[in-house]
């Protein structure tokens, strides 16, 4: 019985160790190395056959130079900030679009729900890349959207949407919308309808019942949805590189440049480590805060 | 349970056996007549896996990571030079390449700059970097005497300001765009001096606001569809756009002009990685592609010149006869080439390029 318990607990930890901690340590190690013209393009590499002396020598060669470098060039913090802004705005828009959809799904008759759910999930059956490419066809100067608007006579010169930050917002909101809808729907579906009735019996208007009862009770879903959208959007590379223009500054693109154009794996790894810390610290603080609140409520 | 382990073992054995008859080629996008791929498989019985990339940087990163699994890769000369020094490639055994006699010594002399004695690579295609112009639209915007064969077209802000309305794309390749800007301001395009390189910032920043995108392959379609009216890109790609537009019969007329101030000449070289899983099959592929007829088929399709002298008799007239593809002796003199940057200068170049692209 005890063994089973230990195994059960150990499994997720082993998972985290193998798929999070070990890769992280490898990246961290590269971040502390120097570039070299070789395979792999950094030095030192660990050679265990050299015994203790080699290992000591290996650690002696690691330093924090690359992290200092990140603070010396404004490009990096500007890209981090710009990524945070783009991710935050897209998360907000996704919430504005996603919440009503989730709410409508939860309000719809029981027999419709599986179909509606299916419709939300359906786009995942097509490759993400193809769906983003499809937006190029829609948003480009000669694309469907502009042709339609020209045809209706609403505009007389094509709108430039492709290759701008607007196109990046469209791409992110479209791609991550299901990640917002599903957790909110899950929270709203569980909601006890009698609570709303009680609120209305006690004199609430429909709007204030929604505001005072439904919204607070769906909060865990909203928070989960926001995290699911914000975190991947922050490090997004594919969407800004396909839909965005050259002026769209995002840390994912900077990372790509370091890795591919400069062949500077150590600096690229340092950028990745900082990105991870920037994500993890606020999330941990937020979680702590949530926990404290919950405990206080109980 | 037992059964599945056995089948798993069988599967591994099967894939192991299959790889003996397999060659993996990593080449540039839109860079071959695809009928050659099936022809190779029929002639040699070797399975061909053909992947594509659109930037030297992507290729180089895969090479430097090691274990790419490719048997043939096609870096450009400057990149090849650096990769050779990193120990990425194996020296070629010319005894295994009976078609080596077809190669063109003029090109081999030029590629020896990157790969001394052509020890590691053979030329696949070569070309120039220049101006792709939608003639009708550009003349509509800039007037009849638009400088469509001069760097003035893309580096003079007055011209670019007007062209922005119909769309301009630049290659996302600092190692090609910065030499062009250096040429424009009368400096040595192959300069490795950070202070000289920094002088291009003013030129490029001046026209940056009018560039709709920096990208190294999208301009082919964009030019052909009429989405953009000017592209600073690779000769053959622009000529492919010209043909696609002609096929679509959409009224778009594209022309390629190497800038009269001088154009960058580059060489894409086929080489075998040191850790290629199947070098024997790689030689078969190299020798196949070095065949005069096959090379002519490829050039006739992609509109790039090749390093194969024997193929020249078999080229279509619109390839061998087009001075944009096979320049005259006089034009050849006006072409320049560049060499690899060391890591410090590379960082200066990349940083400058990021600044130009993003404004930061």
Cis peptide bond N-terminal to B88, omega within 30: no
Instruction: Select from A38, A40, A262 the Cβ nearest to the Cβ of B346.
Output: A262
**B2 is a domain residue:** no
Same domain, B210 and B342: yes
Does the distance separating the beta carbons of A39 and B66 come in below 8 Å?
Answer: yes
Tell me the pLDDT tens digit for each residue of A9-19: 899 999 999 99
Report the C-alpha gap between B287 and B307 in whole angstroms.
Answer: 13
Residues from chain B contacting residue A259 (CB–CB below 8 Å): 61
The nearest alpha carbon in chain A to B85 belongs to: A37
Residue A87 lies in a domain: yes
Q: Which of A97, A100, A81, A69 is nearest to A210 (CA)?
A: A100
Kindly state whether residue B49 falls inside one of the protein's structural domains.
yes
Query: Taking all residues of chain A, what is their mean pLDDT, rounded to a whole number?
Result: 89
List the CATH number of the domain containing B212: 3.40.190.10
Residues 6+ apart with CB under 8 A from B149: B131, B257, B258, B259, B260
Number of domains in chain B: 2
Same domain, B198 and B74: no
Where is B287: in which H helix or E strand?
helix B279-289
Q: Is B239 exposed, middle or buried (0-12, 13-18, 19+ CB in 10 A)?
A: buried
Which residue has tokens 């930037």? Answer: B55
**Is residue B135 located within the same domain as residue B280?**
no
Q: Are residues B199 and B347 in the same domain?
A: yes
Backbone angles phi, psi at A288, to 5 degrees: -55, -45
Mutate to test the interface with A, among B65, B220, B343, B353 (most CBs of A within 10 A): B343
Whether residue A28 is contained in a domain is answered as: no
Residue B10 lies in a domain: no
Q: Do A260 and B60 touch (CB under 8 A)?
A: yes
Residues B250 and B273 in one domain: no
Measure in Å the smallest separation between the Cα of A138 and chain B Cα atoms: 13
B260 and B277 share one domain: no
Contact list in A for residue B360 (CB cut-off 8 A) is 74-75, 78-79, 249
Q: Is residue B188 part of a domain?
A: yes
Q: What element of type H or E holds B53? A: strand B47-53
Q: Is A225 within the bounds of a domain?
A: yes
Note whether A257 contacts B350, CB cutoff 8 Å: yes
Q: Judge: B174–A261 Cβ closer than 8 Å, yes or no.
A: yes
Q: Searching chain A, which residue's CA lies closest to the CA of residue B228?
A: A141
pLDDT of residue B178: 95
Set of chain B residues whose Cβ sits within 8 Å of the Cβ of A41: 64, 86
Task: State how far residue B51 is from chain A, nearest Cα, in angstroms.
Answer: 17
Tell if the CB–CB gap between B343 and A74 is shorter than 8 Å.
no
| Least trusted range by pLDDT, from A48-52, A104-108, B243-247, B249-253 | A48-52
Examine the domain organization and report whether B193 and B60 are in the same domain: no
A288 domain residue, yes or no: yes
> What distance, in Å, lies between the first and last C-alpha atoms of chain A?
31
A-contacting residues in B 7-66 (Cβ below 8 Å): 55, 57-58, 60-61, 63-66
Q: Are A99 and A221 in contact (CB under 8 A)?
A: no
A81-93 as b/e, with b when 16 or more CB fall inside 10 Å? Answer: ebbbebbebbbeb
Q: Is residue B216 in a domain?
A: yes
**Helices and strands: H and E segment counts in chain A:** 16, 2
* Signed CA dihedral, B183, B186, B188, B192: sign only: negative
In this structure, are B273 and B137 located in the same domain?
Answer: no
- Across the strands, what pairs with B89? B273
User: Do B152 and B100 belong together in one domain?
Assistant: no
B258 contacts chain A (CB < 8 A): no
> How many contiguous H segments (helices) and E segments (strands) does chain B have?
18, 11
Residue among B85, B211, B360 minimizing CB distance to A75: B360
Closest CA to B131 of B223, B194, B46, B205: B223
| Residues B71 and B183 occupy one common structural domain | no
* Mean per-residue pLDDT, A206-232: 92
Q: Contact A247/B227, CB-based, under 8 Å?
A: no
**Per residue in A115-125, pLDDT tens?**
999 999 998 88
Identify all chain A residues contacting B212, using CB atoms and an 8 Å cutoff: 160, 163, 245
Q: Phi and psi dihedrals of B239, rounded to 5?
A: -70, -30
Q: Residue B87's domain spans which residues? A: 22-127+266-325
Q: What is the number of structural domains in chain A?
A: 1
CATH number at residue A233: 1.10.3720.10
Contact B354 A73 (CB under 8 A): no
Same domain for B202 and B346, yes or no, is yes
A268 contacts on B by Cβ (under 8 Å): none
Tell me, rounded to whole angstroms, the distance of Cα B332 from its chain centroid. Answer: 18
Please report the pLDDT score of residue A295 as a whole number.
Answer: 85
The residue ranges of chain B whose pLDDT is under 70 are 1-20
The pLDDT, as a whole number, for residue B20 is 53
Domain assignment of residue A129, yes or no: yes
Residues 6+ apart with CB under 8 A from A71: A77
Task: Tell me the whole-structure pTM to 2 decimals.
Answer: 0.79
Report pLDDT for A47: 74
A66 in a structural domain: no
Task: Say yes or no to pLDDT of A45 above 70.
Answer: yes
Q: Does B4 touch chain A (CB under 8 A)?
A: no
Are B269 and B121 a contacting pair, CB within 8 Å? yes
C-alpha atoms less than 13 angstroms from C-alpha of A163 in its C-beta half-sphere: 23
Residues of A in contact with B85 (CB under 8 A): 37
Which two three-digit tokens encode residue A61? 């060669």
pLDDT over 70, % of chain A: 100
Give yes or no for a contact between B306 and B111, defined as CB atoms under 8 angstroms apart.
Answer: no
Backbone angles phi, psi at B192, to 5 degrees: -110, 10
B146 with B270, same domain?
no
> In whole angstroms, what is the distance from residue B110 CA to residue B101 CA?
17
**Do B217 and B307 form a contact (C-beta atoms < 8 A)?**
no
> Which domain covers residue A124, as residue numbers?
73-297
């Amino acid at each position: 019985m005890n063994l089973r318990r230990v195994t059960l607990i150990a499994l997720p930890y082993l998972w985290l160790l193998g798929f999070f901690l070990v890769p992280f340590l490898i990246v961290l190690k590269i971040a502390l190395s120097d570039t070299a013209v070789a395979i792999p393009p950094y030095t030192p590499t660990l050679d265990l056959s050299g015994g203790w002396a080699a290992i000591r020598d290996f650690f002696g060669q690691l330093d924090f130079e690359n992290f200092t470098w990140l603070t010396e060039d404004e490009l990096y913090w500007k890209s981090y900030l710009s990524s945070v802004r783009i991710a935050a705005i897209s998360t907000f828009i996704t919430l504005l679009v996603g919440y009503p959809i989730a709410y409508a799904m939860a309000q719809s008759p029981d027999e419709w729900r599986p179909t509606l759910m299916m419709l939300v999930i359906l786009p995942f059956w097509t490759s993400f890349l193809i769906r983003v490419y499809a937006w190029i066809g829609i948003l480009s100067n000669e694309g469907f959207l502009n042709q339609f608007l020209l045809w209706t006579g609403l505009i007389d010169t094509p709108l430039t949407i492709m290759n701008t930050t607007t196109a990046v917002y469209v791409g992110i909101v479209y791609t991550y919308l299901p990640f917002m809808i599903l957790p909110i729907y899950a929270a709203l579906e569980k909601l006890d309808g009698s609570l709303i009735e009680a609120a209305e019996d006690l004199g609430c208007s429909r709007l204030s019942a929604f505001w005072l009862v439904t919204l607070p009770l769906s909060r865990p879903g909203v928070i989960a949805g926001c995290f699911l959208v914000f975190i991947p959007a922050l490090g997004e590379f594919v969407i800004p590189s396909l839909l965005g223009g050259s002026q769209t500054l995002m840390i994912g693109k900077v990372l790509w440049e370091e890795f591919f154009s400069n062949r500077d794996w150590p600096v690229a790894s340092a950028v990745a480590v900082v990105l991870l810390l920037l994500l993890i610290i606020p999330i941990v603080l937020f979680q702590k805060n949530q926990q404290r609140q919950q405990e206080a409520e109980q | 349970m037992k059964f599945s382990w056995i089948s798993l073992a069988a599967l591994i054995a099967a894939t192991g056996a299959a790889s003996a008859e397999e060659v993996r080629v990593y080449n540039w996008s839109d860079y071959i007549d695809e009928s050659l791929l099936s022809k190779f498989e029929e002639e040699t019985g070797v399975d061909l896996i053909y992947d594509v990339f659109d930037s030297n940087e992507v290729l180089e990163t895969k090479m430097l990571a090691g274990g790419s699994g490719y048997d043939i890769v096609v870096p450009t000369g400057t990149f090849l030079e650096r990769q050779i020094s990193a120990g990425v490639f194996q020296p070629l055994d010319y005894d295994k390449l009976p078609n080596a006699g077809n190669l063109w010594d003029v090109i081999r002399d030029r590629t020896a700059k990157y790969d001394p004695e052509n020890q590691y690579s053979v030329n696949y295609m070569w070309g120039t970097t220049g101006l792709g112009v939608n003639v009708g639209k550009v003349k509509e915007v800039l007037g009849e005497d638009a400088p469509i064969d001069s760097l003035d077209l893309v580096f003079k802000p007055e011209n670019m300001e007007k062209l922005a309305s119909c769309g301009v794309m630049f290659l996302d390749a600092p190692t090609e765009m910065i030499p062009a800007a250096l040429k424009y301001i009368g400096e040595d395009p192959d300069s490795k001096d950070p202070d000289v390189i920094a002088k291009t910032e003013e030129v490029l920043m001046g026209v940056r606001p009018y560039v709709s995108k920096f990208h190294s392959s999208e301009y082919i379609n964009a030019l052909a569809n009429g989405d953009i009216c000017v592209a600073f890109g690779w000769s053959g790609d622009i000529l492919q756009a010209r043909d696609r537009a002609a096929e679509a019969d959409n009224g778009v007329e594209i022309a390629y002009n190497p800038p009269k101030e001088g154009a960058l000449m580059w060489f894409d070289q086929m080489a075998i990685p040191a850790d290629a899983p199947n070098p024997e099959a790689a030689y078969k592929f190299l020798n196949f592609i070095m065949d005069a007829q096959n090379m002519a088929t490829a050039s006739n399709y992609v509109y790039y010149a090749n390093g194969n002298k024997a193929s020249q008799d078999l080229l279509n007239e619109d390839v061998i006869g087009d001075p944009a593809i096979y320049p005259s002796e006089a034009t050849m003199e006006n072409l320049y080439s560049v060499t690899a940057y060391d890591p410090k200068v590379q960082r200066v170049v990349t940083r400058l390029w990021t600044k130009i692209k993003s404004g930061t």
